[in-house]
Every structure is written in C-alpha cells, then in structure tokens.
Amino acid sequence: MAESREATQLHWFDPAQRGIMPLESFHISRTLAKEIRRADYAISLNQDFRAVVEGCANRSETWINGPLFALYDELHAAGFAHSLEVWNGTALVGGIFGITLGGAFFGESMFSARRSGSKIAIAFLVDRLRQAGFSLFDTQYITPHLASLGGIEIAREEYHARLAKALLQSADITAPETPTPQLLVQRTTQTS
C-alpha cells in the first residue's frame, strides 16, 4: 500500500489483527438479497480491470498511487490480479479487485457508483471463490461495511497459518460461471 495518492513509496502491511471474509459465513441481509434478486445489473469478470481500479481510487483520499496502478496492470496481465464488475447497461456501477495466489484471494479494494453496487460485487465474488476452491479471502482490514457482510478480524498468527495452507491449494477464479441472482441468494442462504 501507499500512504496516499501522491506518495512514491510502497509498504507491506502485516497488522496484528487481519481482516478476512470467512467464505463459509458470508452474510446477505434481506435488503441485499432483494437488491440482488432485482437483477437490474450484469456481472462480468476481468472485462474492465483498469476501470475497476480507477473506480476504487476515485475518492478524496486513496492509497492507490501511480506505482500501484502500474503493478496492478502487470499482475492482471500475468493472470494474478482480477476484477469483478457490476454493470448497468454500459455503465460500470460497482466492482471489486484483488490478487490471487493458490487458494487465497487478497481483496485490494471495491467501489460503488450505485446503491449496493459494491455489496452486489462482493456477494458474486464470494460465490465465485467458493465454487472455485478458494479457502482464504483476505480483506486486510475490517470496515463496518465488511463487518455487516460477515467480515471478521483474526490474529496475525492465525492469519499466517491460514495463508500458508491456502497458498498450497489450487484454485481458478476464472473457472466458475456466474450464477443467476436467484441461485446466488439460494447458495448463500444455505451456507451462512
């Protein structure tokens, strides 16, 4: 991460308490389930990676600086960085992006340009990670937004143990098909 948009240096962060989204206990509220069932959007994977990163950085304060944009582009070109997009027609209205290694997905950032856009994105992402065989969804930190979806904090030592196990796994985020909104809600309700 960078300290700010203007910073030139990048830093590794290894906080004492690490945010994760337990894939088995992801929570869709009734309100979000209703938004998902409305199906007034389309979902895609890696259709416009750079636009998702730009959407995530398009705020008054961001840690995504020029060097990170370049690194994310390189990782995407190499098949390690991925985005999930939420569209309303041709307008990108939400998305999330991250990096994959083995069975670990490292969520970098998400954005919303419409009500529940980022929540819809994360719901479809969690389903995709489950179907593809991932075991770790690293969110780095927990925000109230992530906590409302089931995100938790775990101690650094537990995180390192989960990460070591996940890195030994094989998973492919591009393999699963995107489910219908109804199937997504049904699958999430059965597992949470």
Q: What is the pLDDT of residues 38-69, one digit of tens each?
A: 999 999 999 999 999 999 988 788 767 778 88
The model's pLDDT over 118-173, given as tens digits with 9 standing for 90+, comes to: 999 999 999 999 999 999 999 998 999 899 899 999 999 999 999 999 999 999 99
Domain 17-182 has CATH 3.20.20.70: no
Q: What whole-number distance in Å separates Cα of residue 164 and Cα of residue 24?
A: 19
Q: What whole-number distance in Å separates Cα of residue 7 and Cα of residue 18?
A: 24
Q: What whole-number distance in Å separates Cα of residue 171 and Cα of residue 182?
A: 25
Q: What whole-number distance in Å separates Cα of residue 27 and Cα of residue 122?
A: 11
Average pLDDT (85-97) is: 97
Q: What angle do CA 95, 136, 55 make, to 5 degrees?
A: 15
Q: What whole-number distance in Å separates Cα of residue 152 and Cα of residue 39?
A: 28
Domain spans, the chain: 17-182
pTM above 0.85, yes or no: yes
Tokens of 112: 């919303």
